[in-house]
Structure 1
Amino acid sequence: MNDTWRTDLLDQLEFYWAAHLMPRLAGLTDDEYFWEPVSGCWSVRPGTDGEYHLEQFSPDPPTPPLTTIAWRVVHVGRDIFGTRARAFFGPTPGPDDADMYDTRHWPEPLPHTGADAIAFLEQAYTLWHDGVAALSDEELRQPLGPKGAAFAEEPMAKLVLHINREVMAHGAEICLLRDLYQAHRDREDPLVAACLAGDAATVAAVLAGWHGDVDVAGVRAARPELVAEAAGLRHWSVVRELVTAGFEVNGGRISALHSAAAAGALDEVRFLVEHGADLAATDAEFGLPPAGWADHFGHTATADYLRHPS
């Protein structure tokens, strides 16, 4: 174990938390939080006492039910971070002899809104992170002791590694559930579904009013990134239909112009620029303008045009 052991352990968790998980949880709605993709999911539900409780059995059934985002958020926040942090680093409302699995370490009400869930995760993460950050390398080598229950002889460093893995695994599951929820919602709207499928004929028909039950203005307002999404999928005919119909040309973390530049699609780049695409806009991932994306992917003619449009 070298002098950077604690730093390396924390860096792994910090990077995942700040660069991957928390950005993906931005805007979590209450409907998403409790969404059940199939019947019979385990979730967080109100009990007869009026408080919300995590559905689970011990031991797990042979085939555990699929779980909601709410279930996984509470499991990560309370069971993975919270009870361990309070058991080992304190202070805790639980008994002194309570081990790291004892939920008496975390008696607070469980979150039952999307916004509360984010705050709950941040609170639990901070408790665990700051506790680990205060450990010396020698303390990381020490066995967990009685609070580690069946893992009493294992070193603290091994628990830290285990928690890093657990958070990444459950975090990935939460992100996948968000993706599935969005795909489910997208399929409910004929215009959005057609855009993402690259079905330009249906998009044109909807925009022309042939599907009177579609609220085009509502979609335009609710999905300012729709042009960017279609461009990211290289559905150029859809992009043209949407832009011509007045949809936002500069929406999205990665704009439609960035995607066209990356593809070297010079005709599409010209079309977007002629319809108000921002040549100087930088993407949210690399901080580059569209010309920088064209450079990176080796599209010299496209990059030249973006720097000197005419």
Structure 2
Amino acid sequence: MSRPLKSVFKKEHSDEISNHSVNPVFSEVVSAFMSRRRFLQMGMVAGAAVSFPYLVKPENAFAAKANPSALSKAVSLGFTSIPVSTADTVTVPEGYIARPFYRWGDAVGIKGNLPEFKFDASNTTDEQAAQAGMHHDGMAWFSLPQGKENPAHGLLALNHEYIDNGMLFKDGTANWDLDKARKGQNAMGISVIEVKKDNVGWQVVRPSSFARRITVNTPMQLSGPARHQALMKTAADPQGEVVLGTMQNCANGKTPWGTYLTCEENWSDIFVKKAPRNVLEKRYGISDSDESYRWNEVDERFQRR
């Protein structure tokens, strides 16, 4: 099947400096305590211990602190390296296979709401809210049943970082309106899917009581010390109790107590303010235009005043 209209990829920005204070940047703080190589080595051990606890034994992690040569043993997965290649394909080590099982537009698995992906870009805004978002990024594994280490059944929480308007709509960005912006917003955010491994491979469980999508417009209750704080108050909720959604989801994390952390990257690109910007808005890099997503043209939420 043919690919939809030309993709409009995420706008690339130069590495602009928006923090003009004299405060030390994070890299300077880190370098004061450890070398870059040592920082990366310890990060590899810590990351492997959190993401793959069955690969890194506690005694190996402790040994790595005392003996740097133990680092390679602690994080090695034991496969043969792949030569550098320019081939337009996914290449995996000998003995491994790669097979997509949750693609953009695949149904998340919400009971009674399992829309099929339409290759002509005619899926509706509401259908996209029940389908996988675009451009998967950070993800984390949560074993089922909860509290048990199970490598063959669990929940996968994953980010959808950005969107391509040229692939979301039949006519691209022509005839731009709020419904198109909403569909794009529904293609960002987070998916939570239930997955199982069988004799064939990994499968998404559909329907699943765990399946859900969190989009740019999903209402979320604030809790803890952030609730009611001045920076949490908006025109839509002057009490500072509810915020809407998450976007530009790139990096991620997983807490020891089993919750998913998602990190928003370049969120300030989407908000536009044509009037003079205050100190915080300048610090975050709020601009006076957005030629990529254009949500501000039809959705007042992204028009800073």
Q: Provide the TM-score with structure 2 as the length reference.
A: 0.29
Higher strand share: 2
Q: Which has the higher helix share?
A: 1
TM-score, length basis structure 1: 0.29
